[in-house]
Structure 1
């Protein structure tokens, strides 16, 4: 443990004294100022500091001290400016002299403790820590009048681990409610909320502070940081406001650099960090981020050099390795990330951010047992840490999950859902493994862990550490991937499983060193190979974006996801990633793609690896742009697309020779809503015939199928619905209707197909399982029939005895003991079920005959009432 972070010796006494101080606070006014003395201009000094004119602030505050040495704010402004410049020794000497003279001042002593840490004076830092506790214990009454002192007492209470709720309510909010509430009251409260991962409270607190202090860059930075796990566009907006006020604000420059690191825009990140280092060449935050970039680029020697520089002043600073590990974790380098967090904890085992991040990284490495121990320790020591609370709660829920296992997979899912479609999950994954491991020439060293969450909030907690990140169907970390259960959202869960497992293959092959766009592009590409109805396809929206030049170049693909401002942008990032992969494999073959992944695994930078395996980037960019534009132009044949909802759409239609697809579709839908079925068919049929298939809002097949249905043209309706399912496997409406038509036509083969298609979207509905049971029996598919019966039983319908009986019939020749068990379960719920008695008798005789041969009754272990059937 490094000095200066934790002590239990004074904690209890300090807590009581802090509460006692609160009780003694009165509303008595502060003593009047001697107005005959020349008034120092503190506002000017603050503005110089807050605007980043640190040297001017130092000089100005020094002059102010000479005029009135009794005002401690001069020393606070001067020492904070020295710390901002990285002049830690100067700050220490100035603060030490001041505190020796003014021993009862809290904020200068807090800053002195900080300066001691940054100058490796750990014993003195401990002494200052103890002195702060002593002052609050022995002289608590004197600190109850000044708002800055109240905030300082709160900061000391945090050091002594007083309950966060007490700190927030009794000190920070009390200071905020005073007429002369300082900015520090809002900064301290917001920082506390950030520390506990309560980003919503942090955002609210910083915004409240900005109402009174709109020119405070620290508040703008805090507000920006409160959006780091949410809306990055707001992060950038608020960070820019901070830099408008103070272009040298190191914390904000580092925050924006982190944003660029996430986008793999490393040159931009390094530029921001260099700007920060121009102000403070010793900034541990900036240097640790530069070290992170070096490690991400596999330049370990440079990373070690920068890490050493970051630790050169405060050698036991845990935040350095924590920050390095955090950035590595965001690049899916979980092994390296966990190592960094372990180093951080070796420097200070009480450093909570490192421990909770280590827990999350270990979960992503499928080392759950160790991960839960770390999460539980954080929660035990800090019940107000939301991230720890979420993980501990998640552990409890996961303990109630069922675990299914096959040769290559370990699947955890709801105990309610597991008996319904769990075996299908295993079967699909094993088939995916056989296909993808052969294609990419790799055998995974460990079983892949798959977790399926019926509660989206649990999925978000498991995946991102916090709930509140909707929109993801699944996320893969390599040896572990998580998905939302089909019970929580309508989508083709089979496609999602295949997509995420493909990530496991490619992340392992590249040793988790591949950019997101390439990983997503390959997974969508493999989806399309496995089932043309899976994955993404060209849409009118994508066509417009491509032809308008809204694509990224291949060399800049890493920014595609980070620059996305909404869901449509994200989906286009997926599609463009797929297009790039499709283009590269078409032009250069699968072997080159495997080579690219191998190069990434060896640490080659992605654009260098692409140029090595395929072609120089300028050449590739030009060829890819032509390829993508050609793909886009092929959509919709001779139709053109006017801007949706354009007031000039009709005029454009008259001026341009091409027919307008959107206007024609709009006319067809209007006729459909009016009940003009024949006219709707006349309007929609040319769109389908000439433009082909368009997904999304521009889809003409679905309204045309409805028109055919209304006209009783059943065969045409079926053909149109089938076209939808050939292109989009996640649309339930067409599948439901096709199953309904198959059953009404007694087409058991088609019913079998559409029942399975429905289950691939929503396995929790009874209808498709009943259709599967019936059609499988008709088609003599006893394996599917037995699966359907088991799944229906797990859904707990009112006719369970009948289902148990049907399952017993299906199993009687292949597994007589299991058949006997099911017929007895049928009789348990329906004791007068005569056909079940007959089947039971038949099974008893068959088992007895077998027992005479083996002299073993496998059912002897069953705990059954001998008189049950009498």
Structure 2
């Protein structure tokens, strides 16, 4: 496919190269012609501008506009010819000289480009007053930005100065936004573009830049802005390139090819378009074609660092960090001052676990470019990470905040070692480098380490290959996720990315991780709910071939959760119907460079067939959930009429929606006996799920109101078996177990509590009380040590209990140290004194025995 598209592009170029522009046009209004240019009518705008230039109209904006048309459409030689003639007539125009610099570069005149760049600097140094017009100030600012000068100073001395003097001058706003985007200052970019939109609601540059500003925080808004840009100018290359990048991100590769072709129709030499074709070729494993596409991207300017930078950046976004890093190194070889490549290389190395070099490069960029927000954030974060505790074992290195490490760092390592043992054996993977896991108590720090900027709400953990970043329970508020399931999920990514050499679509990667969560513990991962049933049977079911796109721009958080669930169902379907071995062979084929479609075709059949088979499977899964229940929604005319709705509820006793509404009404009116009957009926129909606020939670609350502790306990246990993060259920179960002196259950519930929230006392206290009564003194010591780190109200009591457990373990010296600490905190603690006397006697006896 790619070869054919490449040939078509060349044929198109050969056919259209001989086209000539109409010659004899009447003089036109400059603003009207600029509107033609903004709308993408480049040939018409160029024809009119050429006529005005030929007529000798004394206005530098005509040759500038003509050159812009020629550069936009790839007529670089013509653009250079116009520039060289115009520069004689308008020698003080920096805007014109910046266009000339681009023309020199893209005609392969590297030496002349270097001379032109140096000449601009000399002119600014020798006669700065001659270049104080608003056009020239903006051009000068862009020139210094190109040189990598301090962005904040550029804003202050050039762009802000122009905007203050002339608030209606659009180019100053656009230049400000461009610089802010380059430095990762998306808020400044977005705010500036809001003002720019008021000045020119027809310019496609404004919504294109705004789409980039919002892409990381509001994908829906970014898409809307991009569509607006292409409405204004369907041929606007920066907007088309951004759309193609988004399509590649979503693994919509056919759409990306089509968009790139639209770019090449406008400009067959467009380097970013050919760079993206190189990316697509690499992702398809067509490495010879990749080299051809890269050569095409460099054909007009072989020293263009942007080409390798763009290819590498897109590969890194596909988790091909090693390949991406190599491209950044090539960009730096061409232009050692190209900071974008240096910083991308720093991020690639950090995600590859090559911390030492990665942090050095990040620090270098931050020092040289103080306005680079992402670099500044990373370097600042590194100072905090240096203070983290490091726990190392079995090829795994865990980095945690010191206090958190002392509380549950050992349990984190134990879980990761288990994950490595189980998953590496299952997927036949032998990691050959250290796996790094960083756990952040501050969500902002997690986001900066992971994405470079604050944000990323909703992400619990991210795996880059051999580096995992995760939020600790401390960063998640009162309802944290189960940290054990999160780390198991992310470690599964380590294994599958290692197996495929980071060459797997997102849906398959996420699907396997969620599937393995459920395999490890049925309460982990996503599971069926009434809402998921509705989505599986409706329009929300995504074809397997399009599943990765469901993660990129979901309409709602629920749709994102559903994408995880559906992906795991696909994996479950593949394993159940074709066996684990077929899945492993598919992963091996991905590692060898096959595309996902080719790998699936070789092992399970064509992706079109899989789409159809899975859709049928998904419907069966949905139909098997509470098959005896009715699922019809009330008619709209009924739903809007209270009396009719009550009648409909009463006449549909087995309908899920009717029973749900009936139970909610009964609970609201405190008719708990009636609510119990309704909810138990729903449970008998198989409608129970552990979701927050769901049937089981309501039923447990009803039992509690009716003082039916046995039924409440049974229901709460069901909740913990179906969901991994119900702290409230576990808290109540601990209370019930304590009241019944059921220490075995209390310990189990306490451990489950700690798998969600190890940073508060509840779970540790339950484990200590249960362990002491069960004689599990080793476990008691662990949680007592954790409690001592939580600023307890009575630290002496904690140390005393720890000393008692240590004594039971015959660790008498450790016990003596613990009891002495208790006495240091409470010198008149009589029980501690008695224990100390016993320990001294025992230690003395041991000493005599030793003699």
Q: Same fold (TM over 0.5)?
A: yes
Work out the CA distance in 1 between the residues paired with 2:341 and 2:63.
33
Q: 1:216: which partner in 2?
A: 203
- Alignment map for 1:415-430 (pairs within 5 Å): 415-430=402-417
Work out the CA distance in 2 between the residues paired with 1:541 and 1:253.
37
Establish whether residue 759 from structure 1 lines up as the match of residue 754 from structure 2. Answer: yes
- Alignment map for 1:638-787 (pairs within 5 Å): 638-643=628-633, 648-649=638-639, 653=648, 659-696=654-691, 699-787=694-782
Q: 2:84: which partner in 1?
A: 96
Q: 2:21: which partner in 1?
A: none
Query: Structure 1's 214 and 801: CA in aligned 2 closer, same or farther, altered over 3 A?
Result: same
Establish whether residue 473 from structure 1 lines up as the match of residue 460 from structure 2. Answer: yes
Q: 1:793: which partner in 2?
A: 788
Establish whether residue 71 from structure 1 lines up as the match of residue 95 from structure 2. Answer: no
1:784-836 CA distances to partner (integer Å, 9 max, x unpaired)?
11111111111121322222222222223443333333223223222333443
The one of 233, 237, 245 aligned to 2:232: 245
Work out the CA distance in 2 between the residues paired with 1:63 and 1:853.
111
Q: 1:60: which partner in 2?
A: 48
Work out the CA distance in 2 between the residues paired with 1:160 and 1:536.
50
Query: Structure 1's 577 and 228: CA in aligned 2 closer, same or farther, altered over 3 A?
Result: same
Work out the CA distance in 2 between the residues paired with 1:247 and 1:851.
90
Task: Compute the displacement of 1:168 (Å).
Answer: 1.8
Residues 736-745 or 776-785, more deviating: 776-785
Work out the CA distance in 1 between the residues paired with 2:167 and 2:494.
57
Establish whether residue 562 from structure 1 lines up as the match of residue 552 from structure 2. Answer: yes
Q: 2:535: which partner in 1?
A: 545
Q: 1:608: which partner in 2?
A: 598
Task: Compute the displacement of 1:474 (Å).
Answer: 0.8
Task: Compute the displacement of 1:783 (Å).
Answer: 2.1
Work out the CA distance in 1 between the residues paired with 2:687 and 2:412.
34
Query: Structure 1's 727 and 220: CA in aligned 2 closer, same or farther, altered over 3 A?
Result: same
- Alignment map for 1:25-174 (pairs within 5 Å): 41-144=29-132, 146-159=133-146, 161-174=148-161
Task: Compute the displacement of 1:463 (Å).
Answer: 1.1
Query: Structure 1's 461 and 101: CA in aligned 2 closer, same or farther, altered over 3 A?
Result: same
User: SS state of the match for residue 624, structure 1?
Assistant: helix
Work out the CA distance in 1 between the residues paired with 2:31 and 2:559.
45
Work out the CA distance in 1 between the residues paired with 2:49 and 2:634.
61
Task: Compute the displacement of 1:109 (Å).
Answer: 0.9
Alignment gaps of 5+ in structure 2: 1-25
User: SS state of the match for residue 402, structure 2?
Assistant: coil
What TM-score comes out, normalization by structure 2 length? 0.92
Q: 1:529: which partner in 2?
A: 519
User: SS state of the match for residue 397, structure 2?
Assistant: strand
Query: Structure 1's 580 and 276: CA in aligned 2 closer, same or farther, altered over 3 A?
Result: same
Contact 1:636 1:694 (C-alpha < 8 Å) held by counterparts? no
Q: 1:622: which partner in 2?
A: 612
The one of 393, 410, 413 aligned to 2:400: 413
Residues 838-847 or 547-556, more deviating: 838-847
Work out the CA distance in 1 between the residues paired with 2:635 and 2:466.
46
Residues 561-570 or 364-373, more deviating: 561-570
1:276-333 CA distances to partner (integer Å, 9 max, x unpaired)?
1121111111111111111122211111111111112211111111101111111111
Contact 2:554 2:560 (C-alpha < 8 Å) held by counterparts? yes
Work out the CA distance in 2 between the residues paired with 1:697 and 1:659.
22
- Alignment map for 1:396-411 (pairs within 5 Å): 396-411=383-398
Query: Structure 1's 658 and 675: CA in aligned 2 closer, same or farther, altered over 3 A?
Result: closer
Query: Structure 1's 853 and 511: CA in aligned 2 closer, same or farther, altered over 3 A?
Result: farther
Q: 1:449: which partner in 2?
A: 436
Work out the CA distance in 2 between the residues paired with 1:646 and 1:544.
18
Work out the CA distance in 2 between the residues paired with 1:852 and 1:410.
44
1:644-663 CA distances to partner (integer Å, 9 max, x unpaired)?
99663456947986732123
Query: Structure 1's 447 and 814: CA in aligned 2 closer, same or farther, altered over 3 A?
Result: farther
- Alignment map for 1:228-243 (pairs within 5 Å): 228-243=215-230
Query: Structure 1's 575 and 647: CA in aligned 2 closer, same or farther, altered over 3 A?
Result: farther
Work out the CA distance in 2 between the residues paired with 1:310 and 1:592.
39
Work out the CA distance in 2 between the residues paired with 1:619 and 1:315.
44
Query: Structure 1's 746 and 604: CA in aligned 2 closer, same or farther, altered over 3 A?
Result: same
Contact 1:585 1:593 (C-alpha < 8 Å) held by counterparts? yes
Q: 1:22: which partner in 2?
A: none
- Alignment map for 1:299-378 (pairs within 5 Å): 299-378=286-365
Task: Compute the displacement of 1:147 (Å).
Answer: 2.7
Contact 2:387 2:401 (C-alpha < 8 Å) held by counterparts? yes
Work out the CA distance in 2 between the residues paired with 1:58 and 1:77.
8
Work out the CA distance in 2 between the residues paired with 1:117 and 1:766.
66
Contact 1:662 1:698 (C-alpha < 8 Å) held by counterparts? no
Contact 1:653 1:659 (C-alpha < 8 Å) held by counterparts? no
Q: 1:9: which partner in 2?
A: none
